[in-house]
Chains A and B, each alone.
Chain A
Amino acid sequence: MAWFKKEKQPIAPTPEEARVVRTEGLFTKCPQCSRALWKKDLEDNLGVCTKCSYHFRISARRRLELLFDEGRYTEYGSDLFSPDPLGFHDKRAYADRLQEARRTTGLNDAVINAAGQLSGRKVLVCAMESNFISGSMGCVVGEMITLAVEKAVEDQTPLVIISASGGARMHEGTFSLMQMAKICSALARLDRLRIPYVSILTDPTTGGVTASFAMLGDLNIAEPGALIGFAGPRVIEQTIRQKLPKGFQRSEFLMERGMLDAIVDRRQIKDFLTRSLCFFCDR
């Protein structure tokens, strides 16, 4: 089939079956039900298969458009920029990877910080971009999310973080690890001030992102079928030398084991947030 191809995820720490399918033309093939979908229909349906409700990955920008009233928001922190603190080099220079990711996404790093109105209520939203070096978290992502949490504290404004990340970014070494502590320290303040925080876990959310802010919402919700975990499936398989059970580390698996508050279809997320924030904020 010439009209679709698998998109490569060059350094995904948890490789899996490619879930992103891109068309050259007007069709996209659903990886779950194998039906050919009109791209336009798919887009109108928020990137959810019109036949089987499979959730395609969508960009951080698109997520913000979907949540904010009239798709309008203001960005902050977009100028923050990684100077490659370790001068990291593997088979390829990290500086080159960064430059390429910046070029393809139009972002400086793997998250967008936005402020705007959601159903008429002021909210702050951080949306992670999984196309930027697997959505991994280095100093810039750590700083931006911390900024958002601090802004939420300062303005007494509810916070929503949409995660899509392979975890802490190896190329910034221990700096990346410490971003987990930095963000969680800010979240401790938010928590004690009783300012609402809803965490939305999307495909994929793993490693240091799951093991820090993504699991610390007042509500932790996920889209259907998202890969969510601490260790990547391959690492676990190699460690325990066992086949992993079917559906392991998918949203439904996590909810069954008590790790998620709800699984929410993308088309209902705005409504879910509206009602939750109402519960938290309205007197």
Chain B
Amino acid sequence: MNNSDPKAQIELLQKRIRELESNIDSDSSEEKIKQLRQEMGLLQAERDKLDSIWKKTQLARHEKRPYTLDYIHRIFSDFQEIHGDRRFADDPAIICGMAHFEGRQVMVIGHQKGRDLKERQYRNFGCANPEGYRKALRVMKMAEKYQRPLITLVDTPGAYPSIGAEERGQAEAIALNIREMAALTIPILVVVIGEGGSGGALGIAVGDRILMLENSFYSVISPEGCSAILWKDQEHMREAAQALKITAEDLLSFGLIDEVVPEPENGAHADHDAAAEILKNHLRRHLEDLLAIDVETRLNERYRKFRSMGVIESRAPVAAGR
């Protein structure tokens, strides 16, 4: 199927089948009906797949889904938030703080979304400004200074696109974080808990292990944004979500993440405690692994991990115009 709109095609086929059925005059039309039904079955399957992927992306953004603070309160103890970038502002879209993880001192950083309208606006829907990334970097360096492992929780539609964010260097802030995280000498665990929105996610997501919750996604662009640019309309976000291959399962198969963290039966939003408990067990195991490795090996492995991401072939270029 080359047309990317199965819904319209199914409707078309249904119409044709009805027409033929209302006017059966020979064996050939019965044969034709059979053939059309088969075609429709394939389309239906394709559409079901689109729906299931779309359902996942909607779960990742579910309004009752546990957010960073929900996990922090369930997984860590003695959380003490650290505010501000000491340059310009405190960005409530990214939370940083010291905490205990099963008796061990750790630093936690995560995007934070709001639950009700007021809080959503306060948290800017989890879309950080440059100050958020700069606060995160400051806190990461402090964690490195005192050799405390870092755990980051990723949940953002993307870095905030605004005049102010551009004026204050959104791109530079994210770029610097990515580079500096690559070289931090402390163990870094990254978990995509909901939306992994492009550069805004990556700005706190370089580490030794990258985990993703079962119903989270991680993408270079939102399905809506992709639909707008490539399909030039707002209607094709399901197709875009499928084409971009952004589910945890897909990314695991590409070697872009290390593990998929299962969610409770009906999704993390249905049971915050259970979701946190599962995540806690995964964090414990990975943290123990990482702490057992010496710094140099860990940094080399982190380097190799990102170094190997990509699929490339070799072929001589053909001269222009041919």
A interface residue numbers (CB < 8 A to B): 11, 13, 78-83, 85-86, 88-91, 102-108, 139-140, 142-143, 146, 168-170, 172-182, 184-189, 191-192, 207-208, 210-216, 229-232, 235-236, 239-240, 242, 244-245, 248-249, 257-259
- Closest chain-B Cβ to A37's Cβ sits at a distance in Å of 24
Query: Residue B72 at the A interface, CB < 8 A?
Result: no
The 7 closest A-B CB pairs, nearest first, are A106-B320, A231-B161, A139-B310, A85-B311, A210-B171, A185-B182, A90-B230
Number of interface residues of B (CB under 8 A): 67
A102 to B161, CA, bound (A): 32
Q: Of the candidates A91, A174, A182, which one forms a contact with B231 in the assembled complex, judged by CB atoms under 8 Å apart?
A: A91
**Cβ B315 vs Cβ A81 within 8 A:** yes
A103 to B229, CA, bound (A): 23
A-B contact pairs, 16 of them (CB 8 A): A11-B229, A90-B240, A91-B230, A103-B321, A106-B319, A108-B317, A168-B199, A170-B221, A174-B245, A178-B256, A181-B205, A215-B175, A230-B171, A239-B161, A257-B167, A259-B172
- Closest chain-A Cβ to B298's Cβ sits at a distance in Å of 13
**Cβ B246 vs Cβ A173 within 8 A:** yes
- Closest chain-A Cβ to B163's Cβ sits at a distance in Å of 7
**Cβ B312 vs Cβ A229 within 8 A:** no
**Cβ A229 vs Cβ B171 within 8 A:** yes
- Closest chain-A Cβ to B104's Cβ sits at a distance in Å of 26
With A81-B312, A81-B315, A139-B311 in contact, do A174 and B162 touch (Cβ < 8 Å)?
no
Q: Of the candidates A78, A177, A185, A248, which one forms a contact with B307 in the assembled complex, judged by CB atoms under 8 Å apart?
A: A185
Q: Of the candidates A91, A177, A187, which one forms a contact with B199 in the assembled complex, judged by CB atoms under 8 Å apart?
A: A177
**Cβ A78 vs Cβ B251 within 8 A:** no
Query: Residue B60 at the A interface, CB < 8 A?
Result: no
Extra contacts besides A78-B316, A106-B319 (17): CB < 8 Å: A89-B243, A90-B240, A106-B321, A108-B317, A143-B312, A170-B226, A170-B244, A174-B219, A174-B254, A175-B256, A181-B306, A184-B178, A211-B171, A211-B203, A215-B169, A230-B166, A239-B162
**Cβ A208 vs Cβ B306 within 8 A:** no
**Cβ B161 vs Cβ A178 within 8 A:** no
Q: B288: which A residues are within 8 A, CB to CB? A: none
Query: Residue B20 at the A interface, CB < 8 A?
Result: no
A173 to B229, CA, bound (A): 14
Q: B256: which A residues are within 8 A, CB to CB? A: 174-175, 178
Q: A82: which B residues are within 8 A, CB to CB? A: 311-313
With A174-B251, A231-B170 in contact, do A83 and B179 touch (Cβ < 8 Å)?
no
Query: Residue B277 at the A interface, CB < 8 A?
Result: no
Which of A90, A211, A257 is packed against the most chain B CB atoms within 10 Å?
A211
**Cβ B320 vs Cβ A103 within 8 A:** yes
- Closest chain-A Cβ to B74's Cβ sits at a distance in Å of 28
**Cβ A236 vs Cβ B183 within 8 A:** no
**Cβ A104 vs Cβ B307 within 8 A:** no
Query: Residue B117 at the A interface, CB < 8 A?
Result: no
A232 to B165, CA, bound (A): 12
**Cβ A180 vs Cβ B166 within 8 A:** no
**Cβ B309 vs Cβ A182 within 8 A:** yes
- Closest chain-B Cβ to A124's Cβ sits at a distance in Å of 18
**Cβ A230 vs Cβ B220 within 8 A:** no
A173 to B222, CA, bound (A): 10
Q: B186: which A residues are within 8 A, CB to CB? A: none
- Closest chain-B Cβ to A29's Cβ sits at a distance in Å of 25
Q: Of the candidates B170, B246, B309, which one forms a contact with A230 in the assembled complex, judged by CB atoms under 8 Å apart?
A: B170
Query: Residue B38 at the A interface, CB < 8 A?
Result: no
Q: A106: which B residues are within 8 A, CB to CB? A: 317-321
**Cβ A230 vs Cβ B174 within 8 A:** yes
- Closest chain-B Cβ to A75's Cβ sits at a distance in Å of 10
**Cβ B178 vs Cβ A212 within 8 A:** yes
Q: B86: which A residues are within 8 A, CB to CB? A: none
Q: Of the candidates B160, B172, B219, which one forms a contact with A177 in the assembled complex, judged by CB atoms under 8 Å apart?
A: B219
**Cβ A180 vs Cβ B199 within 8 A:** yes
Which of A105, A107, A139, A185 is packed against the most chain B CB atoms within 10 Å?
A185
**Cβ A175 vs Cβ B171 within 8 A:** no
**Cβ A181 vs Cβ B163 within 8 A:** no
Query: Residue B218 at the A interface, CB < 8 A?
Result: yes
User: Which residue of chain B is the closest to A239 with respect to CB atoms?
Assistant: B161
**Cβ A216 vs Cβ B313 within 8 A:** no
- Closest chain-A Cβ to B204's Cβ sits at a distance in Å of 12
Q: B174: which A residues are within 8 A, CB to CB? A: 211-212, 230
Query: Residue B147 at the A interface, CB < 8 A?
Result: no
A88 to B161, CA, bound (A): 27
A236 to B225, CA, bound (A): 12
**Cβ A102 vs Cβ B318 within 8 A:** yes
**Cβ A215 vs Cβ B310 within 8 A:** no
With A86-B243, A182-B310 in contact, do A236 and B163 touch (Cβ < 8 Å)?
yes
**Chain B 268-308 interface residues, beta-carbon cutoff 8 Å to A:** 302-303, 306-307
- Closest chain-A Cβ to B14's Cβ sits at a distance in Å of 24
Query: Residue B202 at the A interface, CB < 8 A?
Result: yes
Q: Mark B202-245, 1 if CB is under 8 A from A, else 0.
A: 11011000000000001111000110011110001001100111
User: Which residue of chain A is the closest to B166 with respect to CB atoms?
Assistant: A229
With A168-B198, A230-B199, A248-B163 in contact, do A176 and B313 touch (Cβ < 8 Å)?
no
**Chain B 149-203 interface residues, beta-carbon cutoff 8 Å to A:** 159-163, 165-172, 174-176, 178-180, 182-183, 198-199, 202-203
